[in-house]
Amino acid sequence: MNDQNLLTALQTGSEQGYKELVDNYQEKVLNICLGYFPVYQDAEDLTQEVFVKLFETIDNFRGEASLSTWVYRVAVNKCLEKIRYRKRGKRMAFFQSLIGLEEHAGHVASHFDHPGVALENKERTQLLYQHIERLSDKQRTAFILHRMEGLSYQEIAGIMEVSLSSVESLLFRAKQNLKKSLRYYYEKQMI
Amino acid sequence: MDKPRQDIESEIERTLSTLDEVERVSGNPFLYTRIQEQMRQSKTGSSSKRAAAWSLAFAVLLLLVNISSVLMYYQKSVQADQAAGIEAIASEYGLLDQEEDWEY
């Protein structure tokens, strides 16, 4: 089924259409989610939420972008929504830790369970994810889509609804900030 | 470039290059079944929420009707009391009879 037929099937509520959308895109969505949340169970739960959202909002899809752009956009927005939700939770946890109720720790710092990472690289990759987590939402999204998903600047611009030059600038700044953050970390380690 | 600086730069490059070695993760074959279940639950949840919202709206409406009936009844009885009071005063001062005379 091509994207146009798949879209028609989805908009008519066809069971086959839903199943095909999941089959075609679940790997992409799962890997995007793992880019933001490198904990398999969290990423899988989020993938599920992304598809539920896609099915619920299929009637709003006007076909202005390709189906894959739309799927990526919903996945990215869902991940960013989750990050904001967790940040709110962290703020609460911080206040709780101030009054001695709970320990405060970063998400990636305390959990890392990415099944695509070899054991010998785990520590270093975890460190990298901790620093990716510190990037701004836009820089992080551009970085994940380009560096982890291998999407072109054009595709990223479509997903993030920004210009090509903005994508270039976001990626440049993301790499610079990542290097700066890692440099600071290693310098501290050497002291 | 001095040695420690070189070491740091090579560490940074090594760390950044670990992303090239991250393998893609394949999806769960049972994901679609799980999604179906979640959607079924959210539909059930939303219909029971809708029913609860309707019940609440009906209860509020009933309460408003009751309150307005009580207020209307109270207002009417106050008006009746006032009218009776005025009539009593008027008759006491003979105002009612005078009014009748004025008709001629």
Cα dihedral sign for A25, B30, A20, B35?
A: negative
- Exposure b/e, A167-179, CB count within 10 A at least 16 = b: beebbebbbebbb
Q: Look at residues A51, A133, A100, A54 and name the one whose alpha carbon lies nearest to residue B27.
A: A51
**A16 and A93 in a common domain:** yes
Rg (CA), chain B: 42
Q: Per the domain annotation, does A124 fall within a domain?
A: no
- How far apart, in whole angstroms, are the C-alpha atoms of residue A165 and residue A172? 10
Q: Token pair for residue A91? A: 């703020």
Is residue A96 domain-shared with residue A170, that is, in the same domain? no
Check A48 against B39: CB less than 8 A apart.
Answer: no
Which stretches of chain B score pLDDT less than 50? none
SS3 B45: helix
* Beta-carbon contacts of residue A19 (< 8 Å; ≥ 6 apart): B32
Q: What whole-number distance in Å separates Cα of residue B56 and Cα of residue A162? A: 45
List % helix, strand, coil for chain B (3-state, nearest 5): 85, 0, 15
Measured between beta carbons, which residues in chain B are less than 8 angstroms from residue A26?
A: 27-28, 31
Does A121 fall in a domain? Answer: no
Structural domain including A90 reads: 1-115
Distance to chain A for B46, nearest Cα, Å = 13
Sign for the pseudo-dihedral over CA of B81, B86, B92, B94 = negative
Neighbours of A147 (CB within 10 A): 19
- Do A80 and A171 have their domain in common? no
User: Is residue A107 located within the same domain as residue A169?
Assistant: no
Residue where a domain terminates, one of A71, A87, A115: A115
Residues of chain A with confidence (pLDDT) below 50: 103-105
Write down the pLDDT at residue A53: 93
Q: Which residues in chain A touch residue B23, judged by CB atoms under 8 angstroms apart?
A: 116-118
Q: Where are the domains of chain B?
A: 30-102
Interface of A with B in 127-146 (CB under 8 A): 127-128
Domains in chain A: how many in total?
A: 2
